[in-house]
Amino acid sequence: MTSIPTSTYARFTNTVWYNQNLNGQLNSLLEQQASGKKPGGLAGLGIDSIRSLDAHQLGARSESYLRTLDTLERRTSIYAASLNSIQDAAAEARTQLYQLEDREYATDAMLVEVIDSLLMQVQSALSVRDGDRYLFSGAAWNQAPTVDLTAIPIPANIDPLDPVAAPGALPNEPWINAAIGGAEIWDRNAAQVDDAQSMTYGFSALEPAIQTLINGLLTAKHAYSNPALPDTKEALLDQAYEWINQAIVGTGELEARNGFNQQRITGLQESHKASVDFMEVVSAKIEDADLAEVSIQLSLTKAVMEASYSATGRILQMGLVNYLR
């Protein structure tokens, strides 16, 4: 059996091996051109894979904090609208009661209607939800914080309502939902907002300013609903005005506290967004292929492959000539 001469065969096998390497290089370059990434995934990055993994982990943590902050941003915005509505009710109560009381046409029944409309405004503000979560109910998030404020029985005797239940105490207010315990309704929400800090946020229906406002409105309603007690009416209204004025100041302080949290949230969001962007740049520098360099290498590899295949053809021709001799 006749074969290709040994020297020609050796040259042929070397050329085939070289062509195979060129094919591998070409496929790698085509993969980089298509994906924009260096070949082999993290395994192909060598020691840089550790830096790339660290960048991805840091970016993922910041994205997780951003999702938490988005929830806080939504909830503090809801709190802001509710607190604004409650303060508006307090200011309206002061204005309406002062103005209407001295008007001859303003009957007690008319003033009771005004107070009931303000109580409904406060109740609506306290009943806001984020999804299925009542925001003013503390840990009892699936319970509405109050009963119907306009349906609370008004006592016939002179017994002004206790204006404030201390934080953490069992609610002794007749307008608080009886299904909620004191520890539950005073519970404050907290969330981890970065590696080093958490944020406590949220408000209870038993905030002293809110208690004072509702009790002020109920006391005024008590005064106007008991015409048989004219001697006590003035004392009750004086107490109601005092509590309503206190509530205006107190709800303003609640709004300021919520506004501070909103500013913190905005600052943290900007910080985490910057961190995510930076980590994307870091990982891109490690993992992304230089497409301009890939394009140049691709052109050179194709040219070398054409020359190599041409050389392979000549070797085969030489072997055939020697064989025919």
Cα distances (angstroms) measured from residue 174 to each of 82, 148, 171, 177, 221 = 21, 10, 8, 8, 15
pLDDT for 318 beyond 60? no
Specify the higher pLDDT residue, 150 or 310: 150
pLDDT of residue 238: 87
pLDDT tier at 198, thresholds 50, 70, 90: very high
Identity of the amino acid at 203: F
CB half-sphere exposure, 169, CA atoms < 13 A: 10
Per-chain mean pLDDT for the chain = 76
The identity of residue 115, as a single letter, is I
Confidence of residue 222 (pLDDT cuts 50, 70, 90): confident
Q: Could you tell me which residue, 237 or 59, shows the higher pLDDT?
A: 237
Among residues of the chain, what percentage have pLDDT more than 90?
35
The predicted-structure confidence for 10-67, as pLDDT tens digits, reads as follows 555 655 555 565 565 555 555 555 555 555 554 444 555 556 666 667 778 888 999 9
Q: Is the pLDDT of residue 317 over 70?
A: no
What was the pLDDT predicted at 232?
78
> What are the pLDDT digits (tens) for 72-113?
999 999 999 999 999 999 999 998 877 776 666 678 888 899
CATH architecture of 73-281: Up-down Bundle (1.20)
In the chain, the amino acid numbered 129 is: R
Show me where the domains of the chain are located. Answer: 6-39+289-324, 73-281
Q: What confidence score (pLDDT) does residue 98 get?
A: 75
Question: pLDDT grade, residue 304 (50/70/90)?
Answer: low
pLDDT for 324 equals 44
In whole angstroms, give the CA distance from residue 273 to residue 271: 6
Q: At what angle do helices 230-287 and 208-225 cross, to 10 degrees?
A: 150
* HSE toward the beta carbon, residue 307, CA cutoff 13 A: 6
Residue 2's pLDDT is 46
